[in-house]
Chains A and B, each alone.
Chain A
Amino acid sequence: MKKSLLIGLVIMALGLVVPSVTDSEYYLHLFVLAAMFGVLAVYWNLLDGYLGLIHFGYAAFFALGAYTSALVTTRLGWPLLPAFAAGGVVAAVIGGLIIIPCLRMGSYATAIVTLAFAEIMRITATSWTALTKGEMGLWGIPPIFEGAGRTPYVYLITAILAAAVVVLSLIVRSYTGLAYVAIKDDETAAATTGIPVKRIKLTGTMVSCGVAGVVGAFYAHYILTITPALFGIAYTIQIMAMSLFGGKGTLLGPLLGAAVLLLMGEGFRFMENYRLIMYGLVIIATVMLFPEGLIGVVKRGGRLVSRRSGS
């Protein structure tokens, strides 16, 4: 409990400090992206690292939240707060509906269904031009903070990130979290001891997709133009790479992974393609060289140091 709050406070403090250290639009923008991908990586990891669900369509729920919020504000004139909520709810409900058939079929089917769903959504968003304007993308989305520069966005996304991390750490430490551990360890055994495995997976997925939806809504009202490419596998792969690289099944690993990879990726910013190749290579290298991720390496290093200083 204390530890969770502490982590949240540290993140908040970081968010407050950053705008006073730099007023470069570019670095602030980078920080917003890192925090945003941080949330996504942490909650993708809830699925893969804690619940054993390989979700290959995660970006689609991010995009779903973005489109929902953008549409209800531009078409229906909704205020931002309910629009954000709508983005989260739509993503959570659809995320839940998609995962229900997967729960009785095992991890391969989950991988395929989620991937196929994301592709269907992408094609729909591309071809339903009356609603989404297709490849042209939606624009004219109202910004959250009118003409105020990037600093307020930094505060807002930091608050979202802090809240998201605190909530997840509370979940993981609760009874439900205990059930996660049991499911991860041995699903059949967990089910026989009376843990409602399917219900827990379903609610976990809904939470995860809902968070992606809210972050998507934030993104829409931050970037102000969205295209169907958001649904694509490339975004999911970035999120996955961050999560795995950081350390799957840990709370802070994905956050670390998001920050490090995003900064590394900026080095290749001049060419998008090289950046994606880097993400691919990072996944392969992580899987081959240190499956426990960056956080595992840090922990091992820390243990080594403390052992050496102890002796």
Chain B
Amino acid sequence: MQYLVNGLIIGAVYAVIGVGFTLIFGIMQILNFAYGELFMIAAYLAYFGVTVFMLPLWLILILAMAVMFLIGFGIEKAVILPVRMKIPDWVVPVILVTLALQIILQNLALILEGGNFLGIPAYIMGSLRVGNFSVSYERLLMFGICVATLAGIWLLLRKTKLGLALQAVSQNRDAAILSGINTNTVYALCFGLSGLLISIPGVLMMPHLYAYPTVGQVPIMKAFAVTLFGGMGNVAGAIIGGFILGVAETLAAGYISALVKDGVAFAVMILILVFYPAGVGTLLTRRKLG
């Protein structure tokens, strides 16, 4: 029971990580290898927010979301857009560029901040006890914010004009252009949105991880696993996949060994790719596919 609760909490975080990643794939058909490094930047933002500026959590979160939105948007406009304009068949070149960005950002962080593991204490202390299991308030808050974020992104995609445009571009790019949708704007917004989403776990996980240059390797592996599980580009699938991965990992760590925990994500990936490459999410959302 305790494991299940912990698994669901971490699952919500994974779901947010996965949605931010799958969104870019769904709309642009590319893998953003620099995604983990956006998480890393958010973690550093949180670290400085707490230690240097001594800001409250809510303000750090809002600032990080805004900054990361701008960074994501800016990366698309400054680096990805020129490649797309230059090369008609841009998918693979853009993937390579994101890989290069990953290396650049990691080493830039190393140069600027050194390889130290920077940590902060928990944002809030104390925990909720019900019967014989307990959940820290911080984890509850994390769960709440992540679920709210997922609900928010769901509403955005389903109920707003921007969501309509995002969906349209992901399903039929030419038809979207012909309907008057500016794909360049949509792509940049999509990168911005992805940055905004990853900033949330980046800030909230800080007390549990640390900020260091290669911290992005952790979330990007989860993002890969969740995305594959849910089906590439499938937002609903990624949400379900996030929760399942979170629970599976916690159970594996609890009943087998903490060492195998990170192996679970990889095992999930390989199994899915071998047996059901379209992703399990397509099974769950078959109605939508018709």
Contacts and interface: CB of A to CB of B under 8 A. Distances in A.
Does chain A bind chain B?
Answer: yes
Interface of A: 54, 56, 101-102, 104-105, 107-109, 111-113, 115-117, 119-120, 123, 127, 234, 237, 240-241, 244, 271, 273-274, 276-277, 279-284, 287-288, 291
A272 B277 CA distance: 38
A281 B102 CA distance: 11
Among all A-B residue pairs, the 4 with the closest Cβ atoms:
A280-B104, A283-B100, A280-B100, A273-B107
B175 interface: no
Contact of B93 (A102, A271, A287): A287
Which of B79, B87, B262, B266 has the most chain A CB atoms inside 10 A of its CB?
Answer: B266
A287 B266 contact: no
Nearest to A100: B274
Given A123-B266, A280-B100, A281-B104, 17 more contacts: A104-B277, A107-B92, A108-B31, A111-B95, A112-B31, A112-B273, A117-B270, A119-B217, A123-B262, A244-B96, A276-B106, A279-B100, A280-B102, A283-B97, A287-B87, A287-B96, A288-B97
A191 to B, nearest CB: 19
Contacts of A273: 107-108, 110-111
Interface string B260-290: 0011001001100110010000000000000
A148 B263 CA distance: 43
B110 A283 contact: no
A119 B266 contact: yes
B61 interface: no
Interface in B219-262: 221, 224, 228, 232, 259, 262
B231 to A, nearest CB: 12
Q: Is the interface of A mostly helix, strand, loop or mixed?
A: helix
A273 B213 CA distance: 11
Interface of B: 25, 29, 31, 79, 82-83, 86-87, 92-93, 95-97, 99-104, 106-108, 110-111, 217, 221, 224, 228, 232, 259, 262-263, 266, 269-270, 273-274, 277
A119 B273 CA distance: 16
7 contacts: A112-B224, A120-B266, A273-B108, A276-B103, A280-B100, A283-B100, A288-B86
B274 A101 contact: yes
A281 B250 CA distance: 39
A109 B111 contact: no
B88 to A, nearest CB: 11
Contacts of A274: 107, 111
B269 to A, nearest CB: 5
Contacts of B87: 287, 291
Nearest to A237: B103
Given A101-B273, A280-B103, A287 B83 contact: yes
Given A101-B273, A109-B273, A109-B277, A284 B97 contact: yes
A230 to B, nearest CB: 16
